[in-house]
Chain A
Amino acid sequence: MGRFWSLLFLLVPILGVGTFVWAMAGWWPMHGHWLPENINAHGGVIDSLFMFILVLTGVIFIATTLAMFWFMWRYDGGANRDPVAFTHGSHTLEVVWSILPAATLVFIAIYQMNAWADHKMRRPKLPSGEMKPPLAEVMGRQFEWRIRYAGEDGIVGTSDDVQLVNDLHLPLNEEIVLAIKSADVLHSFFLPNLRVKQDVVPGMKQYVWFQPTKEGVYDIVCAELCGWGHYKMRGRVTIESREKFNTWLSQRAIEQNQAGYTPEPVESE
């Protein structure tokens, strides 16, 4: 019986690692379960940090679970006739297993500092040295994303803003800065393909920046439980060339400024 339990515990590292390998390979039925395609020029840093920490924790995970398996196998009560041995513990061992994880954590903290600063602190600048102004402001609201483009004057919050909901368009290969706000509760503005995730805190205006490198239509999701409709708080981000983006935005501005209506003649019978 004891051998059964130790073999069962052996399944933990095997299945754990297997699941990851299977998902990474994209084999059925785990297709599309690994990281979504990265389309942010600065997203590689996030991915390599992710992989680094995954490998680090993975190695420790395998080592720990294998050690547990070995102990269960070696000291199985049914097969083991050795007398019980008492140990008072090992000071050296305790020092080692305290310092090793502490040092690892400090290393991770220092190792990622530059990536953190690049993504959260070093906002892109204009050639003049000023902070690049946001292209649009995204307001999280239960349960939708309200978007406000700066319009021709380049300033969000003026009368020429173009206002939309759930439909964000962005130009390709440019440094995009977005201002993120919340109208009600905590949300999290998450663009999985652009490796952007920023908590949206009521009363705070925060900025995210990234550089999209591939045209297409991608998801905006809310990554912070914000109420019963959290799961349906989805939006759509469309990455397109600068020309297409300009045409699209001016078209939206024209629609928003419609100032006249002639009813279509109703067909008479």
Chain B
Amino acid sequence: MRSIVSLIGLVAVVSGCGAPNAEFRRYTTFAHKVAESAGLEKGFTRDQLQGVDEVMLAMFGSPDEPAFPAIEGIEAGKILNVSHLKLAAGPMGSDEHGNPRGLYREHCAHCHGITGDGVGPTAAFLNPYPRDYRKGQFKFKSTPVGQKPTHADLKKIVLEGVPGTAMPSFKLLPDLEVEALVEYVKYLAIRGEVERGLLDLSTNLEDKARLISVLPTNADDQAKSAQQEQVAAVKDVVKTVAEKWDGAAANITPIPQRQNLTGAELAASIKHGRELFYGSIANCVKCHGDSALGDGQTTDYDEWAKEFINDGKNRDVVRRYVSLGLLPPRTIRPRNLRQGIYRGGLRPIDLYWRIMNGIEGTPMPALAANVRKPEDPPEAKKLNAEEIWDLVNYVQSLPYEPINNANDAYREAHEAMPERPL
């Protein structure tokens, strides 16, 4: 008995002390998807995957030593502050000057994962699941769908948290540390999206080929120029991703000032907003439900799951991706608008942006396409920008509006059918 205990103790001492070096995890789900859609029967070969890993390591470094590739024509400093990455990277602790190190692993990695893949150790227990940054998509931002969030958008989420989810506020951290975390999230997002691009690129490779060939010392000019082309193709992928982040701040959707309404005017605006809510153009009722309780449409998934499992009906596909590291997909619920909990912020401008731009990666559509532009013909069935404010006013009134008022309901029914006695 005693020998067993000491043996266990010995094993614990030998194996437990000194955690292995942290490594970025391979994007297995996406690799499977692109290989399948490219018709590669056995998926990527080991060489092809190692080729991607090598290029990723060379460009972006490791979780302990992050790097950012130099891109022609783009000032790296405009996308992210590389020197800040040091504070967030590496194991938790501080350097010889007392500056913090490893902030990402201290505050974020247990949910969002070392790789930013949203599958940290605690992720499976949370609902909704933590964000997977690697898709490069973020929900709560001031820019339209397809555009990157601004630095300020990401910082607001870190500072304020996301009410209604497990994301807490990090308001009490010093500003420098919050900045470092935001930069690191951008770094992981760019890194992940580049990995997707490189996997896409790898589908054209021969079985034994690598993304960038390893040349013998006596390689001829033809081989060298072929390698140059490979390098250029990789750089192209990085540039495409980086450019989108570079221009984020220029794409913020401007918001016309809301008129300061009170009393009867406000009531009229709310009433009109209500009509729009149930109307055919905005059609909020379709998903948010007849009573705005978020119970209209409840069987859809978000893009992070949908890109792999489509409508989730094929259980084999779901099972395959879950075995590859996707968390068991859950349907996405439209927001219950009567709780007064707004994940992306409760300022009127936050609600305006959500309605106007939609929520990226979710079934919430952008109303922007149905908002009148100067060139539209007057008979087009479109909303005015002002009417978005009516919708916002209605949404803001919902948490404080009694969900059923027998008198109002009776009066409405009477208006619809006046022959009934009141």
Q: Which residues of A contact B (CB under 8 A)?
A: 141-144, 146, 158-159, 163, 165-167, 228-229, 232, 234-236, 255-263, 266
Contact = CB atoms under 8 A, between A and B. Distances in A.
A144 B349 contact: no
Interface in B345-376: 346-349, 352
A236 B252 contact: no
A37 to B, nearest CB: 20
Contact of B400 (A158, A229, A236, A257): A158
A137 to B, nearest CB: 13
A258 B349 contact: yes
Interface size of B as a range: 20 to 34
Given A167-B171, A261-B142, A261-B255, 17 more contacts: A143-B168, A144-B168, A146-B163, A158-B400, A159-B397, A159-B399, A228-B122, A256-B346, A258-B348, A259-B258, A260-B255, A260-B256, A261-B254, A261-B349, A262-B254, A263-B249, A263-B250
Interface in B195-244: none
Contact of A266 (B163, B250, B352): B250
A257 B346 CA distance: 8
Contact of B168 (A167, A229, A255, A260): A229
Interface in B100-117: 107, 110
Contacts of B161: 144, 165
B172 A263 contact: no
Given A259-B349, A260-B258, A166 B169 contact: yes
A163 B172 contact: no
22 contacts: A142-B166, A142-B168, A143-B168, A144-B161, A144-B168, A158-B400, A163-B346, A165-B160, A166-B169, A232-B107, A257-B348, A258-B347, A259-B347, A259-B389, A260-B256, A261-B142, A261-B254, A261-B349, A262-B255, A263-B249, A263-B250, A263-B252
A184 B55 CA distance: 45
Contacts of B405: none
A165 B171 contact: yes
B400 A159 contact: yes
Contacts of A258: 347-349
Considering residues A159, A236, A256, A259, which has the most beta carbons from chain B within 10 angstroms of its beta carbon?
Answer: A259
B148 to A, nearest CB: 14
Contacts of B397: 159
Nearest to B251: A263
Interface of B: 107, 110, 122, 142, 160-161, 163, 166, 168-169, 171-172, 249-250, 252-258, 346-349, 352, 389, 396-397, 399-400
Contacts of A262: 254-255
Nearest to B258: A259
Residue among B160, B168, B252, B257 having the largest count of chain A Cβ atoms under 10 Å: B168
Nearest to B107: A232
Contacts of A228: 110, 122
Contact of B172 (A159, A166, A259, A266): A166
Contact of B249 (A163, A234, A260, A266): A266
A166 B170 CA distance: 9
A172 to B, nearest CB: 22
B349 A263 contact: no
A260 B400 contact: no
B218 to A, nearest CB: 45
B172 A234 contact: yes
List of 5 A-B pairs having minimum Cβ-Cβ separation, nearest first: A260-B257, A259-B258, A259-B348, A261-B255, A165-B169
A199 B105 CA distance: 31
A144 B389 CA distance: 31
B254 A144 contact: no
A167 B159 CA distance: 11
A146 to B, nearest CB: 7
